[in-house]
Structure 1
Amino acid sequence: YRRLVRDIIYTHKKAKSEFNLPPLMRSRIVPSESEKAEALQSLHAASLQQATGHFVKARKLLEHAFILDPDNIDVLIALGEVIELSYYGRSVQQVALPSTKSLIPIYGQIVTDDADGLILTAEHLYTKALIVDPSVSKACLHRERLMPIVEEIDQRILNAIDFKVRQFYHIPESDPGLRRAKVEDYFKHVYHSML
């Protein structure tokens, strides 16, 4: 084990000396006026597509507008609304058994991660719009409407984590899989903590 630990430390030091560059900082790129104008055109085209019932095209146009101008409040709110509508469209199509007390439609027994991701993404976009301009009432209303659903998703995820922790505590100390995992974790710790 000592030789293995020395080899790991030597490899880590060698790799660290070869790549001794400072960490790259993400620079914030401000969109140009032409990008802002194209984002607004994409927003208007998306609203026309949405009015005619082409929701997939509208979502693609709004995603393009978001890439061009990620701080445009109208784009953030419109994209959040389209993502939220796609969540409700999926829930209407896939609901097998309605839940009596839940705010979220249940597909069989468990809500899919994709549906959770849609709601969380929409809530994130509304929050970002509020960060850009806290006085936007439309984003505030949408976010407040989604908060009970987001809290339920968070609670379900925390319950799943608690269940896994309880399962982990039931593993006996003499289990060979647990011993191997401890050794592997020890080597990862040594590898990442040594200079």
Structure 2
Amino acid sequence: MTNVTKTREMNVLVIVITILLSLISVLLALLQHYYFMFTIYKKPTLRFYYPEFEDLIPTDQHKYTALDYPIPSDAHIEDSVLNDLTSALQSDSEDIKISDRSKRKMGTNSEVYNTIQAALAFKISGKNNKAMKLFEHASALAPDNADVLNWYGEFLEQHHDILTADELYFKALAYSPDHKAALSNRKRTAPVVDRLDYRMFQEIDKLKEVLKSRMKLDNFDSVKKQAYYLHIYHTVGIEGNTMTVEQLRYVLETGHVVSGKSLLEHNEVLGLEKAMQYVKLLTRTEYIGVSEILGIHRRVMGHVDPLKSGVFRDEKVFIGSHIPPPPEEIPALMNNYAEWLNSEEAHSMHPVRYAALAHYKLVDIHPFVDGNGRTSRLIMNLILLKSGYPPVMILKEQREKYYDSLKTANIGDVKPFVRFVAQCTLQILNMYLYGTRGLSIDQALDGPGHPGNEVVGY
């Protein structure tokens, strides 16, 4: 009897265990099914802010004004706004450091050594202006000399330019990875620079909120309309277009040509306007894919080179010392780029950092024969608009600094380029505040509901 009972108990136990194992198997199968459904096959859901600044790109019916050419300086309030915005941007650009590295000449070792010795001697004697000029000269003569870059960085760090110093230490390590002094210096400066960058992102977000509170002012329509023209002016101007703001405005408002300007320059302006209107439509889309990027490029270059607009390049290109990927790799690289654009990794970043990296990554691939810069800047602004920020313009006067930060990114340090885009974001926010007869950056933050904070100087 006892043996029979034990046998029955064993059988029941086996049955129970079998049932439990079956249930576990079913649950694992269901979990696996939903994992693949939601993480592999489903496109990521984008969680952008409501595009509050979408209307900074005017609609067609509100963009045009009945003005004759040339435009009289006192004919319209919008012209006064345009002059004010331009002067605000010019005053901001006065402090911009323009790199002269595109014009540098390589020096002999003895010339570089003598220049550095003289710079160090002036530094010790307290003649900092002369020392600065000699350090600049030495770095221009030997841009890949780790010792020169490190000494120059130490000098700048002592004079409170830790951002540029950190960049120089990185460059020194790029050319000499085991450089002990540069390793020690960057270990010290990198966390400080990260904190400064974080503070700048905080400053951007505060100013964005200030601007949101001023968007309902009566003259804001005039401001955004003129900012629209300035945006086109600087974007095509970086590429070498010589039209003035008034001239391109005349072309867009009347459809007539400007005497003395080439057909190419007219077509660049018309193409960029079409692309900007397309970007405005894309602010409401959920997914930024390869087809959307091709659509932007098709409009940017459609008037300039219809046969090569909206298609990937099929030839090798050389951008200075940077060699972009071969044409056969572009389709796969662009698919990977689109996946990154819509990834959780990208969306978890601060929107300004995300936009800057999106710009750099596309320029690095360089998927088109021409129009890569304009397309990249539009992708950058599409991300900013979708994230609740105004579109950024890079000034013609910032061209050298813009390209220099891209070159630095090419050797592995993308922080200066992200910082440059953040500086441009602060610049555009300040410009809008100025244009609405608002307050300066410091005053805006000291206003009601915005306790005073020191603005990070860059």
Same fold by TM-score greater than 0.5 = yes
Structure 2 residue 261 is matched with structure 1 residue 181:
no
Structure 2 residue 186 is matched with structure 1 residue 143:
yes
Measured at CA, do residues 60 and 29 of structure 1 come closer, stay the same or move farther in structure 2, by a change above 3 Å?
Answer: closer
How much does 1:58 deviate?
3.2
Measured at CA, do residues 166 and 70 of structure 1 come closer, stay the same or move farther in structure 2, by a change above 3 Å?
Answer: same
CA contact (8 A) 2:105 2:141 kept: no
1:22 is matched with none
- Cα distance in 2 for partners of 1:59, 1:171 equals 43
Post-superposition CA distance 1:52-85 (Å, at most 9, x none)? 5544443332222112111111110011111112
Cα root mean square deviation, aligned = 3.3
Among 108, 120, 143, which residue is 1:70 paired with?
143
Q: Which residue identity is paired with 2:154?
A: E
- Cα distance in 2 for partners of 1:40, 1:84 equals 21
CA contact (8 A) 1:46 1:58 kept: yes
Number of matched pairs:
143
Question: Given the two structures, how large is their TM-score scaled by the length of structure 2?
Answer: 0.28
Question: Given the two structures, how large is their TM-score scaled by the length of structure 1?
Answer: 0.59
- Cα distance in 2 for partners of 1:84, 1:131 equals 19
How much does 1:29 deviate?
7.0
Among 244, 266, 273, which residue is 1:193 paired with?
273
Among 106, 122, 131, which residue is 2:174 paired with?
131
2:210 is matched with 167
SS across alignment from 1:170:
helix
Structure 2 residue 78 is matched with structure 1 residue 41:
no
- Cα distance in 2 for partners of 1:42, 1:27 equals 20
Measured at CA, do residues 63 and 27 of structure 1 come closer, stay the same or move farther in structure 2, by a change above 3 Å?
Answer: closer
Q: Which has the larger radius of gyration?
A: 2
Q: Which residue identity is paired with 1:71?
A: D
- Cα distance in 2 for partners of 1:86, 1:29 equals 24
How much does 1:143 deviate?
1.0
- Between the aligned residues of both structures, percent identity stands at 31
SS across alignment from 1:176:
coil
How much does 1:146 deviate?
1.0
Measured at CA, do residues 67 and 186 of structure 1 come closer, stay the same or move farther in structure 2, by a change above 3 Å?
Answer: closer
How much does 1:169 deviate?
2.0
**Mapping of 1:3-152 within 5 angstroms?**
31=106, 34-87=107-160, 118-152=161-195
Give ranges in structure 2 of 5+ residues lacking alignment: 1-59, 68-100, 233-251, 253-268, 275-302, 304-458
How much does 1:161 deviate?
0.6
- Cα distance in 1 for partners of 2:124, 2:184 equals 22
Q: Select between 74-83 and 51-60 the one with higher mean Cα deviation.
A: 51-60
Measured at CA, do residues 28 and 54 of structure 1 come closer, stay the same or move farther in structure 2, by a change above 3 Å?
Answer: closer
Larger proportion of helix: 1
